Every structure is written in structure tokens, then in C-alpha cells.
Amino acid sequence: MRRLKVFRSLVKDSLDTITHGSRKYHLWMALLTFIMLVGMYCYSIQLEQGLSATGMTDRVSWGLYISNFTFLVGVAAAAVMLVMPTYVLKDVDFKQAVLIGEGLAVAALIMCLAFVVADMGGPSVLWHMIPGIGVFNFPNSMLTWDVLVLNGYLFINITIPFYILFKHYQGKEAKSNVYVPGAFLSVFWAVGIHLVTAFLYQGLQARPFWNNALLGPRFLASAFAAGPALIILVLAIIRTFTAFKIEDKTIKKIAMVVTVAAQINLIMLVSELFKEFYAPTHHSESAYYLFFGLHGKDALLPWIWTAIPLNVLATVLLTFHKLRNNFKVLFFACFILFVAIWIEKGFGLIVPGFIPGPYGKIAEYTPTLIEIGVTLGIWALGAFVFTILAKTAIGIEIGKLRYKN
């Protein structure tokens, strides 16, 4: 009974906090709401017309949605980079960051699920996928694995922070023997979600560009670069706009994580490029198309040739201690790294997997405005969810939100 009362009060208090804030906060939320509405409008058009409202065709049958999905799985997985040292190794520096990281994971997962639903041809029959009522092709289909691990991860990342915040809200200490096992589990789980998502593509013998043993590990490396990079940027924003204290030390430690991951990612990229271009085979055509264009078709060139220099530049900047410890440079590097990896996972990975087609046909893909609208809407949804979560969490952590008897 008491728990229920506390919970009710928590919900009321958090509703209170998220509806009150500075002018800037309201403007931010209004903007997000507007973008979400535009996205919903675009989605309604897509529902009406069918997926022909997007740029996808029989030749390139996955596009912007699945690209963003893949990228965001990585962002969600990266929350673990902060969970591990805090809960398991008792490294205090990360403690502040970890709630933010988990909030980010929840927001990213919600975006992932939204992107998958947006990509479905028949959202009204999605119940066919629910185990028990529908038919769940487990364990044969990697997609069912993905559904399981993503939802499981979402569950873990909601319950752990919720437990901690719930305790702090009542002014109590959270018991470590309750949440540490959960944190341990989420560490393995995070690696799992990204590996399984990579297997989704890696397991297709039909697409030589994906059917490559390095895909999974490379997913992990790029995720552990892009995710914490985003966390650094978010922490920087939170630091300037709220009373939540985040020490320089914390950010520097996360920057270290980003650096190592970005370096490993680059090494793997070199290895991939070597394999594709040193002794090119029939299977290297997708890579050729991506980097140089094939038969005069070169829609992806601007994307990849933006991504690669940004990636290299960011990694170089991060590698030098002097530069990395200068926060202006660090934030810039994190930003360009994030953009570079987003491009790499989308236009650099999903789209070229379909080009050239099974019989060498080169049909290019350009997203339509509707598709872009829906995509932006989902990103706004993610930002919205995250803002709400973070605002409540910060309120509790700095002691503004407390249970009053």
C-alpha cells in the first residue's frame, strides 16, 4: 500500500516537474512536439498510400528507417559503457552519468521500436509477432531474437534506474545487492543486442556486403564510440542548463572510452577496405559502388566521403591528450564522430547492401520527404522521452523531488 502511495506521489511530482520549467525548456518541448506532429502527419500519409510513399523499391527494400534502427540499437547498447564501471567496479566518477546513460538507452530503444513499426508494411497485423497469440519463428529468424533482446534490454534499463530513483525519492539508499546483478546482466545484454542486430544482416548469404564476419564486432566498436559521444554532448548540455553537477573528471573518462572505441573502429575499417580493394572480387561491387560509384551511378559518394574524413578527423583529435582535454575540441570531435557513424551505419551499410542487386542491377535509393518527416518525428519522440526522463531523474538526484509524508 505504502509503495503504491509513494509511486502515485512520484508520478504526480514528476508530472509537475516536466510541465514546469524555464522559457527555454518550454520552447524546446514545443519544438519537439511540433516535429512529432509533423512526423505523425507524414506517417498518416504513409499509412494511407502504403510504403510507396517512401523511396524504397523492390530493388532497395530497406532504407532510412532500418538504417536509423541499426544505428540507434548501437546508441542504446552503449549505455553499458557507463553502467559497468559505476555499478560493478564502484568507480564513483560515472555515477552521475549513468542515470543519464540509461535514460538515453530507454529513449534510443523506444526510437528503435518506432522505426521498426514505421518500416512495417502491415502495422495492423503486428500481433502476429507476439509470442503466444501469433507465430514466433524462434529461433530460426534473427528478427525474433532481436525482438526478444531489445524488449528485454528495454525492461532492464527501465527497472534499474527506476529502482534507484524510487529509493532516492524516499531519501533512502538504493541497495546494491538488488541492482548490481541487474547491472551485470545488462552489461552482457548490451553486447547481445548489438551483436544480434548485426547477425540480422550478417546471416544473409544473399548479400555479400553484409555477409562478413567483421560486421558484428565492427557494430560494437562503432556503437561504443557513437553512444558515449552522444552522452558526452548530452552531459555538456545538462551541465550548462541545470543544477546537476557533472565533474570534468567524468566527462574525461567517458572521452577515453570514445577514443579507444573510435580507434578500434578505424582499424576495422582499414581491414575491411583492404579486403574489398586489394583483391577485389565479384563480392566487392557494393563497396566499389559505395566508395567510387558503379557505371556512373554514385548517389552514395557524398555521404561516405563526408563520413570517412569526419571519422578520421575525430579519431585523430581524440587521440591526442592535449586536444581531448580541451572541452571545446572534445565536444566538436564527439559531434562529428556521431554524425560520421550515423552516416556509416545508414547510407554506408544498409543501402549499399542492396546495390548492386542479386543480378547486378544498380537501382539507387533516395529517401522521400515523407520518409524524412517520419524519421525526424521519431528522433523528436526520442528527444522528448529523454528530456522527460532526465528532468525527473535530475530532480530526484539533486534533491528537489522528495517524497513528503
Partner 1 sequence: MSSKSKKWFSLNLGKKDKHSENGCGCGKTSGGCGSHDLTIGEETKKDGFDQVFDVKMSRRTAFKQLTASLAIGAGAISTSCSMISGDETKEQAQIDWEEQFKGNYKLMTDEEKKATVDRLVRSYQLRTGKTLNMSSKNAEPDVLFGYAFNISKCQGYMDCVTACVEENNQDRNSQMQYIRIHEMKDGKGFNFNEADDNYYHEVPAEGHFYMGTQCFHCDNPPCVEVCPVQATWREDDGLVVVDYDWCVGCRYCMAACPYDGRRFNWSKPEVPEAEVNKNQHYLGNRMRKKGVMEKCTFCVQRSRAGKNPACVEACPTGARIFGNLLDPNSTIRWVLENKKVFRLKEDLGTEPKFWYFMD
How far apart CA 283 and CA 269 sit, in angstroms, is: 17
Greatest CA span in the chain, whole angstroms?
73
- Looking at beta carbons only, is 132 or 171 nearer to partner 1? 132
Based on CB atoms, which residue is closest to partner 1, 18 or 143? Answer: 143
Judged by CB under 8 A, does residue 358 bind partner 1?
A: yes
Shortest gap between Cβ of 354 and partner 1 (angstroms)? 7
Q: Is 345 in the site for partner 1 (CB under 8 A)?
A: no
User: Out of 293, 357, 372, 376, which residue is the one contacting partner 1 (CB under 8 A)?
Assistant: 357
With beta carbons less than 8 A apart as the criterion, state whether 262 and 315 touch: yes
Please give the grid coordinates belonging to residue 95: 555515477
Q: How far is the CB of 361 from partner 1 (least distance, A)?
A: 6
378 binds partner 1, rule: CB under 8 A: no
Nearer to partner 1, 119 or 397 (CB): 119
As a whole number of angstroms, the distance between CA 161 and CA 86 comes to 13
Interface stretch with partner 1, choices 49-57, 155-163, 218-226, 251-259 (CB under 8 A): 49-57
- CB-CB contact of 221 with 178 (8 Å): no
Q: How far apart are CA 18 and CA 382, in angstroms?
A: 15
Segment 193-212, which members bind partner 1 (CB under 8 A)?
200-201, 203-207
Which of the 8 DSSP states describes residue 358? T
**Which residues within the stretch 276-305 sit at the binding site for partner 1 (CB under 8 A)?**
285
Per CB under 8 A, the list member of 143, 236, 313, 376 interacting with partner 1 is 143
Nearest distance from C-beta of residue 135 to partner 1, angstroms: 5
Q: Does 151 bind partner 1 (CB under 8 A)?
A: no
22 is a contact residue toward partner 1 (CB under 8 A): no
Q: Is 399 exposed, middle or buried (0-12, 13-18, 19+ CB in 10 A)?
A: exposed
Instruction: Give CA–CA dist 320/70, Å, rounded.
Output: 30
Q: Which residues bind partner 1 (CB under 8 A)?
A: 49-52, 56-58, 61-62, 116, 119-122, 124-126, 128-129, 132-137, 140-144, 147, 200-201, 203-207, 285, 353-354, 356-361
